Amino acid sequence: MLDVSLLTPPQRRVYEELFAVGAPRPPADDALARDARALLFARTAPVAALRRRGTPGLVLNKTALDALGCDGRYRDLRDAGFAWSPATVLGTLVHRGVELDHAGRRRAAASDVVAHAWRDFAAKGESAGRYLTTLRGVEADALRGEAAARIIEFRDCFPLVPATWNVRFELRLRVPLHRGALELRGTPDLVLGTGHPAQRRMLLIDFKTGQRSAKDRADVRFYALLSTLKYATAPFRVATYYLDEAEWDAEDVDAGTLEATVRLIADRALRAAELEWAPPPETALRLVAGVACRWCARAPACPARLAADAGYVAGKAA
């Protein structure tokens, strides 16, 4: 247990309200995982039916699933791939720094933590590390400084979890289905608690360094589903923690959460399969303007985006 009197007010809120330390956990319920798996398997069966012989299966992570909110954005993502920028790599750097900071019990200076995370990425040859090695001078210094400031912020607002707790950062979750025709992958930033024979004790948290987005809830629900299928027990809660606000959005996981998530994921997986293996013509794409237009390369000429912009301007003028 933590000595709560040593926590800052925001840290205490996280400990008492988000972690809900001392509150009873829901009883284990095998039916949650069993029903979610059966529904997911049934609703994604058409994905396997569409797969062409000899082609690799679909691998969908949260980036791909988010992109599938619009056919055009999914094609854009597939064509261009994911591109790092100072803004996108900042979150990755901070998340690794938070992990290292936990391991070091927050004894090192934040700038040293960031420097270590930076070297760590570069040494491992991960794509984020390769991108970081291209940054130089003021651009690199600005990124290091911002990451260090975020870590100091995080220390101020999020409690240092006791070393005796079961803590996992960047936990890899993978759910293969239909003999590899479809694989779902996710990596929640922080998982507290472990499996238990009689209770649902896991809490999954995703950290966000930017603004809130409507997709954040769907992202953590996706992690809830993957975790449920992997461990055959559902987490008791999932949450998105917003570093800029020291606030969070949390949801207690139940059968309704999992069922809604399965339906959404299955619908998007089926659409991905159609776009990959039975591609419709450009004129038949379902284009849905939204927040993803901001980073979609199709935006300048996209009719849905242009119509949405025109509607917005007309609405403001009315």
Binding segment for ligand SF4 (CB under 6 A), chosen from 113-121, 133-141, 197-205, 294-302, is 294-302
Question: Footprint of ligand SF4 on residues 207-266 (CB under 6 A)?
Answer: none
Distance between CA atoms of residues 100 and 6, nearest Å = 22
CB nearer to ligand SF4: give 76 or 99: 76
**Contact status, residue 261 vs residue 224, Cβ threshold 8 Å:** yes
**Contact status, residue 260 vs residue 222, Cβ threshold 8 Å:** no
Under rule CB under 6 A, residue 292 binds ligand SF4: yes
Distance between CA atoms of residues 262 and 251, nearest Å = 16
The encoded tokens of residue 159 equal: 């409690």
Under rule CB under 6 A, residue 175 binds ligand SF4: no
Binding segment for ligand SF4 (CB under 6 A), chosen from 135-143, 154-162, 186-194, 296-304, is 296-304
Q: Is the dihedral of CA 274, 276, 281, 283 positive or negative?
A: positive
Question: Footprint of ligand SF4 on residues 44-73 (CB under 6 A)?
Answer: 70, 72-73
Binding segment for ligand SF4 (CB under 6 A), chosen from 88-96, 136-144, 272-280, 287-295, is 287-295
**Contact status, residue 47 vs residue 178, Cβ threshold 8 Å:** yes
What's CA 277's distance to the chain center, in Å?
Answer: 26
Beta bridge partners, 247, equal 242
Q: How far apart are CB 212 and ligand SF4 at their closest, in Å?
A: 19
Beta bridge partners, 192, equal 167, 203
Under rule CB under 6 A, residue 268 binds ligand SF4: no
DSSP-derived letter for residue 57 is P
Query: Residue from 163, 304, 314, 316 that binds ligand SF4 (CB under 6 A)?
Result: 304
Under rule CB under 6 A, residue 77 binds ligand SF4: no
Under rule CB under 6 A, residue 299 binds ligand SF4: yes
Q: How far apart are CB 59 and ligand SF4 at their closest, in Å?
A: 21
Chain residue whose CB lies nearest ligand SF4:
72
Please state, as a whole number, how many other Cβ atoms lie within 10 Å of the Cβ of residue 277.
15
Query: Residue from 33, 220, 226, 296 that binds ligand SF4 (CB under 6 A)?
Result: 296
Under rule CB under 6 A, residue 270 binds ligand SF4: no
Under rule CB under 6 A, residue 305 binds ligand SF4: yes
The encoded tokens of residue 230 equal: 């992997």
Distance between CA atoms of residues 140 and 168, nearest Å = 29
Q: How far apart are CB 253 and ligand SF4 at their closest, in Å?
A: 30
Burial class, 261, CB count within 10 angstroms (exposed 0-12 / middle 13-18 / buried 19+): buried
Beta bridge partners, 208, equal 242
Q: How far apart are CB 201 and ligand SF4 at their closest, in Å?
A: 39
Residues that bind ligand SF4 (CB under 6 A): 70, 72-73, 76, 287-289, 292-293, 296, 298-299, 302, 304-305
